[in-house]
Amino acid sequence: MKTDQLNRWLTLSANVGVLIGIFFLVAEMQQTNSIAKAEVKNSLTQSVYTLLQMQREPRQIAALERSDEDWESLSFEEQILLSSMASAIFRHIENAYYQHSFGVYDDNQLAAVVVEFDQMLSMPLFADYWESQSQTFAVEFRNFVEQRKTQLPE
């Protein structure tokens, strides 16, 4: 009988140990999830900072202004510069959209990105870039952009 009682206590202790282990595992997973979200947000913030630095260059600003009037009047170097900028911006927006779909970016953060994105979509450079390169983006993001385009003022 003592062996039976000892086995019961050992089984109970083992079960309690497993429950405690599961509790700690859940806590660890929540902490890891929080750290991952912070890292993604930091990465997206760095991306925005890099894009802002790129857009502050006087040569790029002048080329961007002229691109609205006549793309063909730009030098090859300016066209490459602006195409690279458009690509970087679209990839950043796609990344933000992707992170939002996984719950890393919340609705307010995505909305802030979308406000500027909508303004860009109405610019010829970005509209043309999208028309020529949209197939290189994920289907979900393409659908998102096409939906945004329907909501732009004409």
Per-residue pLDDT of the chain (154 residues; tens, 9 = 90+): 688 888 888 888 888 888 888 888 888 888 777 777 777 677 767 776 676 666 677 787 788 888 877 888 888 998 888 888 889 889 989 988 988 888 888 888 888 888 888 888 888 888 889 999 999 999 999 999 999 988 877 6
Write a three-state SS string for the chain: CHHHHHHHHHHHHHHHHHHHHHHHHHHHHHHHHHHHHHHHHHHHHHHHHHHHHHHCCHHHHHHHHHHHHCHHHCCHHHHHHHHHHHHHHHHHHHHHHHHHHCCCCCHHHHHHHHHHHHHHHCCHHHHHHHHHHHHHCCHHHHHHHHHHHHCCCC
The reported pTM is 0.71
What is residue 94's predicted lDDT score, i.e. its pLDDT? 92
